[in-house]
């Protein structure tokens, strides 16, 4: 074993690995957690098939690969490798591991890094400087197995970031499963996460596999992670610490082979300070944070996103009208507290109001866009402001208004004389 390589933070290691991938083409890289004897980082070179790579991992885990030249073979193929290994230490994570660099002298065609950037630009319909920085992080992080926490305001595209991480990872050919933790109550959420055996509780008439089992080999995205109850947080922490979970009512532990990506619009440090989120779980999930810029900070992307949405709706509306210069300027002037999701809903409204015209004009936009009558964007991603319930607005009134306007949020909010964001918060409070 050669001299250890020390890293102060996880980000330092990520930067090192990114440069290593760029400099040494045709190399596979593995990082083995010495304490738990499991791989926390896997990068498979393209000239490795699945069977060869699994054989390589078995030899690494069995400590059969020393520094030097090796021949790795399976039933159909063999490959010559030069093996280098280094112990590594990450100070702020108190992590001890071994990095294995396995280089093949065989030539290998590699995609250029800028091709990946172009792919991300097309996925997010963005060319802004803020998003370019995020794309660079996604590239470096995707090839790792470390947990990622995606932070961003509601509607900013956190799930799209999680999908991009999966699509650019070594797990891209396996399943990607997303679950919204805020949409399920505690009992259902526990079963959905870990599964249950037959008879585990009243109504459990058959065995159910949870997402940790269904996503085996792939990526599991847990959205709104801050909404998980404290008792479930403890069980999730155990999965991250041991790599195993037990279904509800079960006795046998199951190995969890998933890449974990979580997302929240809240600041988990503040949630932990307030006692609503476990601090030990926070540090397990927030190994690599990614922040999604709000739409108001990258307004140069609005024309690109708007054009994509309008083109996407062509089959639904039978036409694809363009935005007039004045209408586009109104969209750019607006601050979009609901981010890309609000922009899409606004354009759907405008398409309906345009009534097959060849051009969407200012008069086709919602009133709050025209007059800028919206709440100030929350600079508190930490926690929503208290919802002030008016005596005149109750659950039944909102329900009837939504039915009356066929769930058109813009029209319903206008009828109730509230903003779309306030309507969204009422709906969340009343579970509508």
Going by DSSP bridges, is the β-strand pair 148-151/244-245 parallel, antiparallel, or unpaired? unpaired
Q: 144 with 16: CB under 8 angstroms?
A: no
- Residue 217: pLDDT band by 50, 70, 90 thresholds? very high
- Tell me the backbone φ, ψ of residue 336, rounded to 5 degrees: 50, 70
Closest CA to 207 of 198, 220, 217: 198
Q: 289 or 71: which carries more pLDDT confidence?
A: 289
Q: Specify which of 34-38, 60-64, 298-302 reaches the highest per-range mean pLDDT.
A: 298-302
| Span 333-367, pLDDT tens digits | 999 999 999 999 999 999 989 887 889 999 999 98
User: How high is the pLDDT of residue 26?
Assistant: 66
pLDDT at 385 over 80: no
Distance of CA 417 to the CA centre of its chain: 34
SS3 of 37, please? coil
pLDDT at 391 over 70: no
Q: 263 or 82: which carries more pLDDT confidence?
A: 263
pLDDT at 121 over 70: yes
Q: 427 or 31: which carries more pLDDT confidence?
A: 31
User: How high is the pLDDT of residue 6?
Assistant: 87
Q: 30 with 102: CB under 8 angstroms?
A: yes
User: How high is the pLDDT of residue 377?
Assistant: 42
Q: 227 or 384: which carries more pLDDT confidence?
A: 227
User: How high is the pLDDT of residue 117?
Assistant: 64
User: How high is the pLDDT of residue 1?
Assistant: 43
Q: 29 or 179: which carries more pLDDT confidence?
A: 179
Task: Name the average pLDDT for the chain.
Answer: 83
Q: 33 or 340: which carries more pLDDT confidence?
A: 340
Handedness of CA 382, 262, 211, 36 (dihedral sign): negative
User: How high is the pLDDT of residue 109?
Assistant: 38
Residues 6+ apart with CB under 8 A from 177: 211, 214, 215, 218, 219, 220, 221
pLDDT at 166 over 90: yes
DSSP code of residue 254: E
Q: Specify which of 129-133, 177-181, 266-270 reaches the highest per-range mean pLDDT.
A: 177-181
User: How high is the pLDDT of residue 42?
Assistant: 82
d(CA 377, CA 314): 31
User: How high is the pLDDT of residue 56?
Assistant: 81
Mean pLDDT check: name the lowest of 77-81, 89-93, 203-207.
Answer: 77-81
pTM of the entire predicted model:
0.63
| Span 194-203, pLDDT tens digits | 988 887 777 7
Mean pLDDT check: name the lowest of 107-116, 169-178, 187-196, 296-305.
Answer: 107-116
User: How high is the pLDDT of residue 296?
Assistant: 93
d(CA 305, CA 368): 20
- Tell me the backbone φ, ψ of residue 408, rounded to 5 degrees: -75, 105
Domains identified in the chain and CATH numbers: 2-103 (3.30.450), 114-291 (3.40.50.300), 295-370 (1.10.8.60), 386-432 (1.10.10)
d(CA 120, CA 419): 33
User: How high is the pLDDT of residue 381?
Assistant: 38
Q: 399 or 350: which carries more pLDDT confidence?
A: 350
pLDDT at 152 over 90: yes
User: How high is the pLDDT of residue 272?
Assistant: 92
User: How high is the pLDDT of residue 108?
Assistant: 37
SS3 of 39, please? strand
Does an H or E element contain 81, and which? strand 78-90
Q: Give me 159's structure tokens.
A: 């799930």
């Amino acid at each position: 074993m050669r001299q250890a390589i020390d890293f102060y933070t996880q980000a330092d290691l990520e930067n090192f690995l990114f440069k290593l991938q760029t400099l040494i083409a045709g190399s596979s890289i593995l990082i083995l957690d010495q304490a738990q004897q499991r791989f926390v980082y896997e990068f498979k070179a393209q000239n490795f098939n699945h069977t060869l790579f699994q054989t390589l991992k078995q030899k690494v885990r069995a400590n059969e690969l020393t520094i030097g030249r090796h021949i790795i073979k399976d039933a159909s193929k063999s490959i010559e490798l030069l093996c280098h290994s280094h112990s590594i230490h990450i100070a702020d994570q108190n992590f001890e591991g071994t990095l294995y660099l396995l280089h093949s002298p065989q030539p290998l065609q590699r995609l250029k890094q800028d091709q990946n950037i172009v792919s991300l630009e097309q996925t997010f319909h963005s060319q802004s400087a803020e998003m370019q920085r995020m794309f660079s992080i996604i590239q470096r992080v995707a090839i790792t197995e470390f947990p990622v926490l995606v932070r961003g305001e509601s509607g900013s595209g956190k799930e799209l970031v999680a999908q991009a991480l999966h699509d650019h990872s070594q797990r891209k050919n396996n399943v990607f499963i997303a679950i919204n933790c805020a949409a399920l109550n505690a009992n259902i959420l526990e079963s959905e996460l870990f599964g249950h055996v037959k008879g585990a509780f009243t109504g459990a008439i058959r065995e159910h596999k949870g997402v940790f089992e269904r996503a085996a080999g792939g990526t599991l995205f847990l959205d709104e992670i801050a909404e998980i109850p404290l008792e479930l947080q403890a069980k999730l922490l155990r999965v991250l610490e041991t790599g195993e979970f037990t279904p509800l009512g079960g006795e046998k532990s199951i190995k969890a082979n998933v890449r974990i990506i979580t997302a929240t619009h809240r600041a988990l440090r503040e949630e932990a300070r307030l006692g609503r989120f476990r601090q030990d779980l926070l540090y397990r999930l927030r190994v690599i944070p990614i922040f999604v810029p709000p739409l108001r900070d990258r307004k140069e992307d609005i024309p690109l996103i708007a054009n994509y949405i309008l083109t996407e709706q062509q089959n639904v509306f039978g036409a694809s009208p363009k935005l007039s210069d004045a209408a586009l300027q109104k969209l750019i002037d607006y601050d979009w507290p609901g981010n890309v999701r609000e922009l899409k809903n606004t354009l759907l409204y405008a398409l309906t109001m345009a009534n097959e015209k060849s051009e969407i004009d200012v008069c086709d936009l919602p009133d709050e866009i025209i007059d800028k009558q919206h709440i100030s964007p929350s600079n508190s991603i930490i926690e929503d402001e208290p919802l002030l319930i008016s005596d005149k607005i109750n659950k039944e009134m909102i329900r009837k208004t939504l039915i009356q306007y066929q769930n058109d949020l813009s029209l319903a909010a206008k009828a109730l004389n509230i903003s779309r964001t306030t309507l969204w918060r009422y709906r969340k409070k009343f579970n509508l």
